[in-house]
Structure 1
Amino acid sequence: MRFISFEKNGKPTLGVRQGEQVRVLGEETLESLLARGVNLCEYAQANASDETVSMQGLRLLPPLQRPPKILCVGLNFADHTKESNFEQPKYPTLFLRVSTSLIAHEAPMVRPAVSDSEGLDYEGEIAVVIGKGGRHIAEKDALDHIAGYSLFNDGSVREYQFKTPQWTVGKNFDGTGAFGPDLVTADELPAGAKGLLLETRLNGEVVQSASTDEMVFDVASLISIISEAITLEPGDVIVSGTPSGIGWARNPKLLMKAGDVCEVTVEKLGTLRNVIVDEAK
C-alpha cells in the first residue's frame, strides 16, 4: 500500500493513495500508528472511509513529519566515495538529520541565504522506515523490522558540510531534506529494496543513476550494524546513501539554483519532485 500524509482543513491527515485518488483514513499520523505497533495494511483496510480526494491540488506533507530519528548514511556507493576523494570506509558513515529540515514532495527546496555558499547540491536516496524497533537486531531478521520505503533528496550545503570534520550543519539547513511522496509498504518491493534503479534528474537531465545492488552496506546490514549501538524505534528513518554524480564533484560544479527542478525516481517507489527557491532575506 501507499500511504500519503497531507493537509486537510488545516490538519495533518493520512490516506492511502490509489493512482491519483487518495482514500482518507483520518488524523492519526504514521508516527503514532507505528509507535502503537499497528500493522499499516490491516489498519488501512479497517479504517478507510468512503471519502476520497484527488492528488491534484493536495498540499502534501512528508510521510512522517517528526520521526524519532533520521539516520543518514554517507559514502554507501563506492563510485560516490571515489568521486568525493575519500577512501571507502569499512564501517557505515553515519550522521543525523533533524525533522525541521524536512520538506514534502512538490514543496520548495530552499537554497540558504548565506554569503559563503555557492549553492545547494542534490543527493537522491532511498529512505527506510522502521516499523518494529529493537537493539542488536540480527542481519537475518533485519528486514522484518521495516514498515516501508520512501524517497529522499539529501540537499547538501557543501561549504557548510566541510567547514568541520562533522557534516551536521551542511546537512541540516531548514527546507533541504525532501522526503516522500509516499510511504510504500515493504511487501510492495523486492526484499531489502534490492535491484531497483535509482535516478536523480536536474532540469530533466539524468545526473545520478545506479542500482540499489551497488550499495556497499545493504539495507539489512545497515539495520543490524546501527542497532549494535543505537536502539531503533518505530518510525525511525534510515536514509541509505547516494550514488555518484553529485554536483560538487563535477568540473565545473553543478549546484542547484532558484528555478531548478530536482527529481528523484526509484523503480516501484515513484518520483519525488521539488523546485529550488532562494531563501527570503
Structure 2
Amino acid sequence: MIPNPSMTVAVLALALLGGLPRPVRAQSDTPADQGLRQLQVAVGHYNLSQGYASWQEASVRGLYRQGKHLWGLEMMHADRFNERGTFVGLQDRVHVAPRWDISLAYGVGDGAPWLPRDRVDGFVHHTWGEQLNWVTNVGLGYYKAPDQHRDRWGSIGLTAWLEPYLKGPWIAQGEVRWSQSDPGSVDTRQYFLALTWGRHGQTQITGRHGWGREGWQSLGDARSIVDFASRQDTLIVQHWMARDWGIKVVADHYRNDQYRRQGLNLAWFKEWP
C-alpha cells in the first residue's frame, strides 16, 4: 500500500497527545477533561521524480474526549498521480484497565486507486516499568484496495520516555511491521525508528526513519509496483505559539525503486488543555 505522509503525522499527533509515556506522577485513572481536545488544519505539497506529477493535499483532524474514549477524526482531500481522492478515518483509543489501552481505527476512500476501499487498524498498548515510562504496542491491520489488492499486517513496537535516564525531554520509538500482500502472497517487512525532543506545550522535534520492503503500491492509471525496497525520512517540528495553539511543519523524503518524493506539510493546530 502507498505510504501516506499526512497519515503518519496524524498517528504521531495522536500519540503525542494521548499515547506517549508520561512521568509516573502524571499517570492517573482520573477522567481527563471532556469534549474537543484538539483541531488541526493542514496543507501539503510534494514533488516527485521520474516525471510524475506533484502531489497536493489538504486535511482537517480533530481529537474528542468522551469518558475513557479519545476519538480521532481525519478528513483528507488530495491529488496524487493526477487522480483526486478523499479519505475519511475514525479512531477510538480507550483506557480499559490500569496500564492498558486499546485503539481501533477504520478508514475509507472514495474509490481513488491510491486510497483504501476499507482500512482497519487495531492496537493494544501496555504501559510498564517502575516509573511507567515504557509502552509496548502490538497491532494488526487489513487494507482493501479498490482493485483486487489486499494487505494484512502485524506489528510490535516500543516507546520509551527517557528523561529518567538522560535528564532531558527525550522519547524514543521503534516498530517492526510484517505484511502479506495479495494477489501473490508477497511477504515483506518494514522497520521504523523515531526520536522526539521537547515538551508538550513548548516545542517538540521528531525525527523518524523507516526502511524495508513494500508488497505493492498504486501509481495511478491502473499502474502499480510490487515487492520493492523503500526508505522514508520525516522531520516534524511542532511549536506552541501560545498555551492553546501553535504551528507544525513536516518535511518528508521518500524513495523506492521507481521514484523519489519530497515535500512539506504545514499545519495550524488549536488545543483545549
Q: With the length of structure 1 as denominator, give the TM-score of the two structures.
A: 0.27
Greater helix fraction, Structure 1 or Structure 2: 1
| Larger strand share, 1 or 2 | 2
- The higher-RCO structure (CA 8 Å, 6+ apart) is 1
